[in-house]
A = this chain, B = another copy of it.
Amino acid sequence: MNAEDRITAWFASHTPLDPRRFPIGIGDDMAQVRVDGGTVLVTTDMLLDGTHFDRSRHSLEQIGFKAMNVNLSDCAAMATVPLCAVGATALPEDMGAEDLKLLHIGVTRAGAAFECPVVGGDITAWRGAGRLAICLTVLSRPVEGVEPVRRDGARVGDAVCVTGALGGSGRGRHLSFVPRVHEAIALARRARLHALMDISDGLSSDLHRICTASRCGAVLEARRIPLSDEARRCGDPLAAALHEGEDFELLFTVAEAEAGPLEAEGVGGLPVTRIGTITAEPGVRIVMADGAVHALPPGGYDHLETRS
């Protein structure tokens, strides 16, 4: 478990929640809240200059587009339907109202693709040495007849599957990706997904999260992992696919018998690839092309790496 997951576990253990009011709390891609007879889910993600984007190289419209899409990807990660967003922006001293409009254009363009308008927000000038930060919060609702899909339902013997192709997102795709909202909903309608996430911090890290939450392990087959064109141009394409992160593809587990048809048909024009199997033995291992089996520790992005 990496440092970010340890602190998240600490938060969860120090925040007792009534499961009747909050069926899903800290530690999944979204929290679930019961409201009257209904239910709503909520996620929040903050994007920072120098970490998630680079203002000297990326346009404000690109930055706003990504800020909305990483949140929409969390809706996909639970197979839920986006409803609306609110946004908070910290403006550095060299930015003004015209820059905010460009950010907003990017945010609303991303939201419009999924009928997810911005319904409110907060703007603050950051005096002194403050840099651009943008925090979006998105609400969603379950698909009719389908419970939100959590991380903790993987079962021994399940097939581990991904959509699309992995790795090399840093070459540009991290700014322009399409969140897999429609694909997640289609998959959840066609099959009984036992566990589901979006790959934000890297396949190796995110699969560990499913395994930890589900109290199981997994074994991956290196030759099955779908490599993106950008990953193939990296020095170590497999490492890019395993650890780089910001793929924003879906990672899920289903019963063995359901994986074949999904792989044969794909979803929404995207390939679905079975890349491994859930095991009773904890931890994640990978079978390399030469048959050697290695332990695969979480190697993705750790937001708190090396910190106390």
Residues in A lying within 8 Å of B, measured CB to CB = 3-4, 6-8, 10-11, 14-15, 17, 21-22, 25-26, 28, 30-31, 33, 35-40, 42-46, 48-52, 83-84, 86-91, 95-98, 100-101, 104, 108, 117-131, 133, 135, 137, 139, 141, 303-305, 307-308
Q: Is B100 touching A7 in the complex (CB atoms < 8 A)?
A: yes
Q: Which 8 A-B pairs have the closest CB atoms?
A: A36-B38, A96-B307, A31-B120, A31-B119, A46-B88, A135-B135, A137-B137, A96-B308
Given the interface contacts A88-B44, A90-B46, A133-B46, does A97 sit within 8 Å of B7 by beta carbon? yes
User: How many of these chains are in the complex?
Assistant: 2
Chain B residue at minimal CB-CB distance from A105: B14
Residues of chain B within 8 A of A124, CB atoms compared = 46, 48, 51-52, 303
> Nearest Cβ in chain B — how far from A210, in angstroms?
17
Given the interface contacts A38-B37, A45-B122, A135-B135, does A51 sit within 8 Å of B130 by beta carbon? yes
Partner of A104, one of B11, B30, B43: B11
Residues of chain B within 8 A of A118, CB atoms compared = 11, 15, 26
A-B contact pairs, 30 of them (CB 8 A): A11-B118, A14-B104, A15-B117, A15-B119, A17-B119, A22-B119, A31-B119, A33-B84, A33-B119, A35-B83, A36-B36, A36-B39, A36-B141, A37-B37, A44-B121, A44-B137, A46-B122, A50-B126, A50-B128, A50-B130, A51-B125, A51-B126, A52-B124, A91-B303, A91-B307, A96-B307, A97-B307, A124-B303, A129-B131, A130-B131
